[in-house]
Structure 1
Amino acid sequence: MVPLRQPVPTFVQLAAHPLRWQLLATLSGSDYRVREMVTLVGEPQSLISYHLRLLRDGGLVRATRSSFDGRDSYYHLDLDRCSQMLGGTGAALHPALGRTPPPPLFDPKTPVAVLFVCTGNSARSVIAEALAHHYGNGRVDAISAGTCPKPDMHPNAVRVLRDEFGIDITGRRPRDLDTLADHRFDKVVTLCDKAREVCPQFGADIRSVHWSIPDPATPGGTDEDTNYPAFQATAAEIDGRIRYLLPILTTQP
């Protein structure tokens, strides 16, 4: 009997190339600019840009314009898309392989300390802090701060946490990053391209992670009706990134 010819799944076609796999692995830990990936991967910029374009066309990688330098872009791995395609790849080989078991949870003796940083500490980093606490179930000690904190929380940050996730941060005030200089963290996450450029090191053994997420606030505006959809989209992206970050924090001592 002649076996049926099955098409090679798209994920396998994209990820099987050694350099593309290396780029995917690099972007799994943090968002990077092309010139940073040239240093990390050790290949010419033209070659990396070519393969990044293929990964973008395949939906595995996305790019956002840097808010620090508009001539630059940050690339990041679309983990939801990768998860869907990996599930489809497994199912194409055998139906039972399409189900991915949840990762085991590590129960630390003390909560894992995570710092989230953006410029104003009035929206992005506060949303990340709240969601890390929400999903961490006592295993994550999350805190957030700003490199140039705003006087007050953006009302839509308060609203989106309350309406979309049932989290109340009423009364929370932005925190200055300088007040945390003596603190020890297991992971530092910057959510703002500008904050990444000025965020201090919290120890040589602390690996920082960067998420290039645009500010959802309309410049100079706080009207809840006009820019609330931008806050919903930002909170959804942060929610996804937090859900993928926690297994890393909670599976390794």
Structure 2
Amino acid sequence: MTSTGQATPTFLRLAAHPLRWRLLAALAGGDHRVRELVTLVGEPQNLVSYHLRLLREGGLVTGTRSSFDGRDSYYHLDLDRCAAALAETGAALHPALRPPASASVPARAAVLFVCTGNSARSPIAEALLRHHTGGRAEVTSAGSRPKDRLHAEAVRVLRDGYGIDLTAQRPRHLDSVARRRFDYVITLCDKAREACPDFPGRPRRVHWSVADPATAAGTDFRRTATDIDTRIRHLVPVLGATVQ
């Protein structure tokens, strides 16, 4: 038997390690700090940090400083990069193994998005999930310290980039939805994650560490909307699979 001399795809080399696979699986559900990943995978921090570094070098995972505690960082799995890498891995073995595109229709789900001011990140997420599900998901957003109005740039980006009109929407306080039942409560702000209360029915809690485009240096509203839109597109099939 002769060897083709073909190198093992990078994704396969990274994901095949049992601990790195567990880290990828943990981050697929949301963004986490190192100490949270240590608890989730049950391994020492130095080992977790080492394998996180390899995943970052491989382009599958990114890290950002926490806006709640600048000494800490949140790690995020790039699901688009993983999807592309998986497709390339299959095609490297045989062209017929490239997975076909598939559409997932979510079951009706109740989702709450939370940030501090409820003026940019969480209303963007609310609007985009409603948009991607054709209104089938019950979506709302709220803030721990809501602003008086939505940020004008958030309204503009959604109108110009996605054809969504938010001019009539106003920020809500978390207190206004405190008694409602949700399937998912998703925080998009590191500070709001720490302030977010418990909700009836024990909804699934997910955190997306998204910098505030109104204050973060080097961040703009279009980039923020694109980041949130990517996360929303990957959330939709999860809702369809887990919420009945």
Length-normalised TM-score, structure 1 = 0.92
Q: By how many angstroms is 1:98 displaced?
A: 1.7
Which residue in 2 is equivalent to 1:96? 96
Kept after mapping to 1: 8 A contact 2:115/2:187: yes
* 1:217 paired to 2:214: yes
Q: Secondary structure at the match of 1:99?
A: coil
Which residue in 2 is equivalent to 1:223? none
Distance 2:115 2:204 in 1: 17
Q: Structure 1 unaligned runs (5+)?
A: 220-225
Which residue in 2 is equivalent to 1:138? 135
Kept after mapping to 1: 8 A contact 2:182/2:201: no
* 1:242 paired to 2:232: yes
Which residue in 1 is equivalent to 2:160? 163
Kept after mapping to 2: 8 A contact 1:31/1:75: yes
Distance 2:10 2:103 in 1: 25
Give the counterpart letter for 1:232 in structure 2.
R
Kept after mapping to 1: 8 A contact 2:150/2:169: yes
Which residue in 1 is equivalent to 2:18? 18
Kept after mapping to 1: 8 A contact 2:28/2:77: yes
Which residue in 1 is equivalent to 2:220? 230
Q: By how many angstroms is 1:103 displaced?
A: 4.9
Over aligned residue pairs, what C-alpha RMSD do you find?
A: 1.6
Which residue in 1 is equivalent to 2:148? 151
* 1:9 paired to 2:9: yes
Which stretch shows the higher mean deviation, 196-205 or 171-180? Answer: 196-205
Give the counterpart letter for 2:231 in structure 1.
R
Which residue in 1 is equivalent to 2:60? 60
Which residue in 2 is equivalent to 1:124? 121
Instruction: Provide the identity percentage.
Output: 63
Q: Structure 2 unaligned runs (5+)?
A: none
Distance 2:52 2:153 in 1: 34
Count residues in correspondence. 243
Which residue in 2 is equivalent to 1:49? 49
Distance 1:82 1:153 in 2: 34
Q: By how many angstroms is 1:26 displaced?
A: 0.3
Q: By how many angstroms is 1:104 displaced?
A: 4.0
**Residues 175-205 of structure 1, C-alpha deviation per residue, up to 9 Å, x if partnerless?**
0011101100010000000000010111463
**Residues 71-116 of structure 1, C-alpha deviation per residue, up to 9 Å, x if partnerless?**
000001001111111110011011122233315435x4xx210000
**Residues 152-174 of structure 1, C-alpha deviation per residue, up to 9 Å, x if partnerless?**
11000000000000000012110
Which stretch shows the higher mean deviation, 3-12 or 38-47? Answer: 3-12
